[in-house]
Amino acid sequence: MDTEIKIPDIGIDQAEVIEILVHVNDYVKKEQGLIVIEGEKASMEIPSPHTGIVKEIKVKISDIVKKNSIIMIMQLKNTFKNQNTIYNSDKDVDNIKQSKVKDLNIIYASPIIRRLARSKNIDLHNIVGSGRKNRIIKKDIDNYINDLNSHVSKNNIFQDTVNPEKNNCNKFGEIEKVIINKIKKRTGDVLSKNWSTIPHVTQFDEIDITDLENFRIQYNQSNKEKKNNKLTLLTFVVKAISKGLEKYPYFNSSISRDGNTIYLKKYINIGIAVDTNHGLIVPVIKNVKNKNLFEISQEIFHKSNSARQGNLNMLDIQGGCFTISSLGGIGGTYFSPIINGSEAAILGISRSCYKPIWNGKIFVPKLMLPISLSYNHCIIDGADGARFITYINKILSDIRLLLI
């Protein structure tokens, strides 16, 4: 029996087909990836809902698909006839795939590995994976590139990394041409548009987090036996921002394109910018005001890991009200984060450090956290910007206010 394979509800209006993972006459197992699609800020595999044989592929690279779009026709009988052989089970297919059945060379690789390969113009069919079920991992990509570069160098073959007619930078030394992946390209396009269309104002401040950090360290030390139970500084900042959005609702809003209407949101969803190998991804922590510190910490941990592994779905990156960009683990003091066009503000966090603070009698060492608040000046004026950042400072400086 033949059946149509359709796009499930992926949480967005449409997405682009960027890779087709199977061929006609391929034997496909349930949950095996069929195609890879990409939306505004994330990509995902569409798995097969059945076990069967691909009879027809209805899409091609760069096609735009949406919910219920037909992507393939699949034969779903308990037994299949192919090349005069009847296959009754997965085991039968595995036993004969080398001798009688063609196009069963399934590539096992995660979306992040597939994106990495595409960005470097690598055909994954040329790589033998070293992971489970011959799954291709990043080490295999790196080894393939090293072997290729070694071969090129040994045979003195010139790599066409630039167009000499348009760019002569290679005359000064070796260069490498890197194609920008679609996620980085789209992120750059959106940020460029936001920067040029939103009147940004950025205010800076330093927060005394000495007491907060002491509490956080003591809590984590007393819960060492519990896995993934650590509270990070980001956890407290998310909760503080949630309280700030409740007190100052214009920071939890969007503005219409014509600039005539402001939409105040009654829910609080906070995006967390995550630095990944394939670009900046912003998973969204939903319904923050009704979650405690531990629940927020768990969700940040799991969604950050999913973002780095390329396992987020479209719903995970939608619905944000406010974004936090934390560079504290990397370094720097202050920066001007760019506002998401559908939001009113964004907070940047930099690396904390100890500074001597005068208490009226002596200098006392205090752990100070630099923060940078950018906001849309069409929605928020400077006075409210100062009030908001002062309120966040007050909450994070006094751990008791945060826990109330």
Please state the φ and ψ torsions of residue 184, each to the nearest 5 degrees: -65, -40
Q: Report the interhelical angle of 233-247 vs 210-222 (nearest 10°).
A: 130
Q: Is 151 among the residues known to form the active site?
A: no
- Name the DSSP letter for residue 332: -
Identify each DSSP E strand in 148-265 by its residue range: 200-208, 253-255, 262-264
Closest alpha carbon to 347 in 392, 398, 285, 284: 392
Distance (Å) of CA 36 to CA 31, 39, 47, 84, 114:
13, 10, 9, 32, 9
Catalytic residue among 50, 125, 278, 377: 377
CA atoms of 278 and 265, how far apart (whole Å): 31
Half-sphere exposure of 252 (CA within 13 A, CB side): 20
Distance (Å) of CA 212 to CA 61, 235, 403:
51, 11, 11
Q: Which residues are catalytic?
A: 377
